[in-house]
Amino acid sequence: MTVPTAARRTAADGSPRVDVRTLGQRLDAATAGLPAPLVVVDLDALDANADDVVRRAAGTPVRVASKSVRVRHVLERVLARPGFAGVMAYAAAEAHWLVGHGVQDVLLGYPTVDTVAVDAVAADPDAARAVTFMVDDTAQADLLAAAAHRHGRRLRVCLDVDASLRVGRGPLTVHLGVRRSPVRTPRDAAVLAAAVEQRGSLEVRGVMFYEAQVAGLPDTSAAVRLVKAASVRELARRRADVVDAVAAALGRPLDLVNSGGTGSLEVSAAAPAVTEVTAGSGLFVPTLFDGYLAFEPRPAAYFGLDVVRVPGEGWATVFGGGYVASGPATPSRLPRPVWPTGLRLGAREGAGEVQTPLRVPARADLRIGDRVWFRHAKAGEVMERFARVHLVRGDRVETTVPTYRGEGVCAG
């Protein structure tokens, strides 16, 4: 099995080939009179991205990763489309909140030790039926079992299995991928599954594999593509063995085998054992996803900042902008100005806490009051900085809806 490639339209720097002049004019017209900083989602791009995600999944249901959206209205909009099924939440309190707003299938993508939120889910019969918790250790299972016992419930559980690639032997082994679960081998998973069900009030539904070194790594070189292809082959074999081992330990087939992410939908969906794939960043397409060959990126989320001063020739300062993405502290985590073209962050100040100075080419001629449009490095994180998001169609705001923050949800 190989990592797919696709011809796509990109600029010389690897970013999507977007008509930024038309984009800037549309967003300026749509948000004229609205104060900045503000964030928008281009609905035409969002809908096209959602269609592309479903196409790439090729019939395998797609679970929406809420951390990459963080706008309930957008989650509901996407879930209403054919091909999408359920939400992968990132926090237990968020999962309970989503069930309270009608989401009937929530897979918690990470283990939790939030006893208050777990107890709230266990106390709520609807939430207890809708939420599946993630574990990779019996200590997490003990916490869940205690809450289930208190409320006479049976809570559902999924095992997080390490999907990284390891090359070499012994002390010479190289770990390629993120550091997530200690559960790696079929035996690891089978032992944990049996131990979880021994608690009596927990039911193991299935297993999850997140191959971050494939789904979250752009195709920046031939070496990267080689590593990704090797990882896909290794995981395909090991995933099938893990699924068989857990099913044997439980004495029944699994109804949930989750895998993949935006960058690996095709290969994950094609694996025989996989029942569903997960995607979230592919809906907004932030700058970290510009370098993928598997799909054509259509940026859908932008934020606008206004010029508040011109400190000198070749410079303009906008209000706000310090929306730096999580991960290693490198330039790839900084926001990128896209309109007007040619703008660059200053090397010394970068994206500022309250204001952001920009290097301005002579042709741009920015003036006080002008609006500059940016893209964020990661999908949902920028939504944590805003209480509301404007959903734009063409050159008008179709509706304005609250983000998680605007609804008072700060889950982590």
CATH at 377 = 2.40.37.20
pLDDT at 351 over 90: yes
> What's the pLDDT at 177?
64
Q: Is residue 393 part of a domain?
A: yes
> What's the pLDDT at 132?
98
If asked whether residues 196 and 258 sit together in one domain, one would say yes
Query: Whole-number mean pLDDT of the chain?
Result: 89
> What's the pLDDT at 226?
67
> What's the pLDDT at 172?
62
Please count the structural domains in the chain: 2
If asked whether residues 204 and 330 sit together in one domain, one would say no
How does DSSP assign 367-407, residue by residue?
-TT-EEEEE-SSTTGGGGG-SEEEEEETTEEEEEEE-TGGG
Region 131-155 average pLDDT: 98
Considering only 26-40, 124-138, 164-178, 240-254, which range has the smallest mean pLDDT?
A: 164-178
Name the residue type at position 213: Q
State percent of the chain over pLDDT 70.
88
Distance CA 232, CA 1 (A): 7
> What's the pLDDT at 257?
96
Instruction: For residue 267, give both structure tokens.
Output: 């290969």
If asked whether residues 270 and 354 sit together in one domain, one would say no
Rg (CA), the chain: 22
Whole-model pTM: value is 0.90
CATH at 236 = 3.20.20.10
> What's the pLDDT at 179?
74
Across 111-198, where does the E strand assignment appear?
A: 131-135, 155-161, 165-167, 174-176
Residue 361 belongs to what domain range?
1-42+285-406
> What's the pLDDT at 9?
45
pLDDT tens-digit readout, 97-124: 999 999 999 999 999 999 999 999 999 9
Q: Which residues contact 154 (CB under 8 A, 6 or more apart)?
A: 128, 148, 201, 202, 203
If asked whether residues 201 and 301 sit together in one domain, one would say no
Q: Is residue 146 part of a domain?
A: yes
| H or E, element range at 151 | helix 138-151
Domain boundary residue, one of 262, 281, 300: 281
If asked whether residues 297 and 332 sit together in one domain, one would say yes
Q: Is residue 53 part of a domain?
A: no
Q: CA 279 from chain center: how many Å? A: 7
State percent of the chain over pLDDT 90.
72
If asked whether residues 244 and 344 sit together in one domain, one would say no
> What's the pLDDT at 322?
93
Q: Is residue 324 part of a domain?
A: yes
Instruction: For residue 312, give both structure tokens.
Output: 């000198």
If asked whether residues 198 and 262 sit together in one domain, one would say yes
Q: Which residues contact 127 (CB under 8 A, 6 or more apart)?
A: 95, 96, 99, 100, 120, 121
Q: Is residue 56 part of a domain?
A: no
If asked whether residues 97 and 240 sit together in one domain, one would say yes
Instruction: Place 1 in a pLDDT band, splitting at 50, 70 and 90.
Output: very low
Q: Is residue 51 part of a domain?
A: no
Q: Is residue 54 part of a domain?
A: no
Region 280-297 average pLDDT: 87
Region 368-394 average pLDDT: 96
If asked whether residues 126 and 222 sit together in one domain, one would say yes
Burial class (CB in 10 A: 0-12, 13-18, 19+), 170: exposed
If asked whether residues 32 and 126 sit together in one domain, one would say no
Domain boundary residue, one of 252, 281, 310: 281
Instruction: Place 8 in a pLDDT band, splitting at 50, 70 and 90.
Output: very low
pLDDT at 6 over 50: no
Domain boundary residue, one of 261, 281, 301: 281
pLDDT at 211 over 70: yes
Distance CA 20, CA 23 (A): 5
If asked whether residues 194 and 88 sit together in one domain, one would say yes
159 beta partners: 135, 207
If asked whether residues 213 and 128 sit together in one domain, one would say yes
Q: Is residue 334 part of a domain?
A: yes
pLDDT tens-digit readout, 51-81: 999 999 999 999 999 999 999 999 999 999 9
Q: Are strands 315-319 and 84-89 parallel, antiparallel or unpaired?
A: unpaired
pLDDT at 220 over 80: no
pLDDT at 195 over 50: yes
Instruction: For residue 111, give both structure tokens.
Output: 């283990």
Distance CA 146, CA 66 (A): 27
